[in-house]
Structure 1
Amino acid sequence: MNTTTIIILVGAVCLLLGVVGGFFLARRNFMNYMEKNPQINEDMVMAMMSQMGQKPSRKKINQVMSNMQKAQQQARKQAKK
């Protein structure tokens, strides 16, 4: 094999490793970001309950938020399996 072919093969392998490694690094960072900054907060839950015709009490909001956190934890456990 000549030098040009070896250089092209090494470059292609490095590119492939970089793409795969970058994907998993970005995925891990995104998961950590979503864990620290959930997409829905208490104000959004309160607005949704008001739109559905329910009176949003603090107890109901806390129940919804805790149920959502439990569901996220279960989803993370299943994703790790």
Structure 2
Amino acid sequence: MWVYILVGVLALIAGVVLGFFIARKYMMDYLKKNPPINEQMLKMMMMQMGMKPSQKKINQMMSAMNKQQTK
């Protein structure tokens, strides 16, 4: 009787671990294909806020976002 319970618990743990790694891989691939924001989006957002975006400012903001993302 206890063997069935042990097998059920092990199967549940294996399913959770496997599901976690599959979901993690899927999200990493999705974010590579569809980055959250790029230079063009940043430029459009700055223009909508009434700023005149220079390439230097865009590069600074992108590097700051990339540093934040890697932490």
Same fold (TM over 0.5): yes
* One-letter amino acid matched to 1:43: Q
TM-score computed with the length of structure 1 as normaliser: 0.65
Deviation per CA, 1:15-70: give whole Å up to 9, x if none: 33122222134224424643x35210011100110011110111111111011001
Identity %: 59
Q: Aligned-residue CA RMSD in angstroms? A: 2.2
- Structure possessing the higher relative contact order (Cα contacts under 8 Å, 6 or more residues apart): 2
Q: Which runs of 4+ in 1 moved over 6 A?
A: none
Question: Which residue of the partner structure matches residue 68 of structure 1?
Answer: 65
Question: Which residue of the partner structure matches residue 59 of structure 1?
Answer: 56
Matched, 1:40 2:37: yes
Q: Would you say how many aligned residue pairs link Structure 1 and Structure 2?
A: 70
Query: Can you give the 5+ residue segments of structure 1 that lack an aligned partner in the other structure?
Result: 76-81
CA distance in 2, matches of 1:31, 1:72: 13
Question: Which residue of the partner structure matches residue 17 of structure 1?
Answer: 14
TM-score computed with the length of structure 2 as normaliser: 0.72
CA distance in 2, matches of 1:53, 1:32: 34
